[in-house]
Chain A
């Protein structure tokens, strides 16, 4: 099978997943408790049944679920995500204003957990069964067992308040400012991922190192550094990249807590606000974006995988 047809098949699967996810998202928001018409009409105080009915008709809330879903999907396909109930702005504009911040945050956190996590994993694998190995495993487990909001508060209190190295709120201006503002949030996001990434790296390297071809390379006089890099790490990359991709994809939908803790206006805080105010179009659009991001990242990892591991190529071609 050629690369083209494989990509085409993957793309079709991607669209089908997206379609199914869009229905689940729409139905879930629809089924959430609370009536958006009450909010749209301006609260319960001066509410009359006639006013409620007219609001429902205006926003098509009186139609059956499937019809509403069809209307929304049709608009989505035409890149019209509707207007926010709360702000009356185009949903697309709201999301576009918030999304880059979240993306920067996730990219920064990914950079941190890949460098620190894979680094710690390689170190643990090379120094297997020594105190270094125990330190890495113990340290990352401890870091993972601390919830991110607790880590956020601890980081704020230490680096933000006591040492004053980093600002504790907002998302900053310009590249340098953004970097400084997002360091603590990215670090508290990345901490939880360190344990799983370093553990996967360590185990994948241990498996790769157990192969006879590594012993053969060692016996033929290849320097230890090259053995680790070319034969062990290179053959262990498959699971490591997959896990990094999954964790990064998961982060796209998991920035809510950290965004709230650090006062960053990303899509995580937008989603929470939208759910609390029954702002259907915004909640649906953000959820759809998160799912799309997740699918995009995991698909990308799947497409990259055969380039890293010749055995996978054999299985899919």
Chain B
């Protein structure tokens, strides 16, 4: 068991619906990530993948299930003690979907990164860290509104790396970017993974993106895990009809939308 960096067991989260009853956002989700590994969580909007990501980071408290990092139970909320709080932060960091609201509008790139570095007593300079994610001195002095979407996402990645986390959770981190910028960010993540051995949990609706960055993939539908396996195998020989639908929905050369419509009609429930 100790060879797993991250172990999520039986994660379940339900929300109360306005008219009584409960909506199950995630049900009995179990997976593991090895040190330096990369797991993709895919599914359409509302499949519960973001809920799982937020449970990992601690923004949403699971109703049931547990999250272990290096064998130890991860506290569900930040502790009051400084050492425990910083240790928890070093376990998992998150990069959010929308880089327009995930950065403090008041702080320059340098201040944003320097705050996290100082908090965790890191010797690395903010400029060096920004340089690692491809932001120069001009960008270092800029506030988020003066940066492009891609630059903002680089800054968000730099901020999470400042903590030097073991696991980086990326929630649709490239979904708001255009395709060429997406490729740059994915390459950056690939480099970071190689250089720092940080493990990635990559949440996305985009199978093409997941294919590039992950070793394993978990397919979610309506809060349940429908398929789980090595990325290559799942994408080339999907076992679940829902995974086949997701694959059929990716527009490629000679893509026929009616295939996707037929695949959806064939889905149970």
Q: A residues near B, CB below 8 A?
A: 211-213, 215-224, 231, 234-235, 309-311, 314
* 26 residue pairs from A and B, CB less than 8 Å apart: A211-B102, A212-B96, A213-B101, A216-B96, A217-B104, A219-B57, A219-B59, A220-B89, A220-B120, A220-B159, A220-B163, A221-B119, A221-B163, A222-B115, A222-B119, A223-B82, A234-B106, A235-B104, A235-B105, A235-B106, A309-B105, A310-B105, A310-B106, A310-B145, A311-B105, A311-B145
Cβ–Cβ contact B101 & A224, under 8 A: no
Q: Give residues 153-192 of B contacting A (CB, 8 Å).
A: 156, 159-160, 162-163
Instruction: Tell me, rounded to whole Å, the shortest Cβ–Cβ distance linking A170 to chain B.
Output: 46
> What's the least CB distance linking B168 to chain A, in Å?
11
Is B262's beta carbon under 8 Å from chain A?
no
**B67-103 CB contacts (< 8 Å) to partner A:** 78, 82, 85-86, 88-90, 92-94, 96, 98, 101-103
Q: Is B58 an interface residue (CB 8 A)?
A: yes
Q: A219-B58, A221-B89 are in contact. List 5 more A-B contacts (CB 8 A).
A: A216-B96, A216-B103, A219-B94, A221-B85, A234-B106
Q: Which of B57, B85, B96, B103 contacts A223 (CB 8 A)?
A: B85
Main secondary structure of the interface of A (DSSP, over half): helix
CA distance A220 to B96 in the complex (A): 13
Q: Which chain A residues lie closer than 8 Å to B115 at the CB level?
A: 222
| Inter-chain contact B86/A216, CB cutoff 8 Å | no
Given contacts A220-B89, A221-B78, contact A213 B104 (CB under 8 A): yes
Closest residue of chain B to A214 (Cβ to Cβ) is: B104
Determine the chain A residues whose CB is within 8 A of the CB of B59 once the complex forms: 215, 219
Q: Which of A216, A224, A235, A314 contacts B102 (CB 8 A)?
A: A216
**A3 → B minimal CB distance (Å):** 18
Contact (A213, B57) CB under 8 Å given A219-B94, A221-B86: no
CA distance A243 to B208 in the complex (A): 49
Q: What residues of chain B lie closer than 8 Å to A213, measured between beta carbons?
A: 101-104
B116 CB within 8 Å of chain A: yes
Bound CA–CA A212/B152 (angstroms):
13
| Cβ–Cβ < 8 Å partners of A222 in chain B | 115, 119
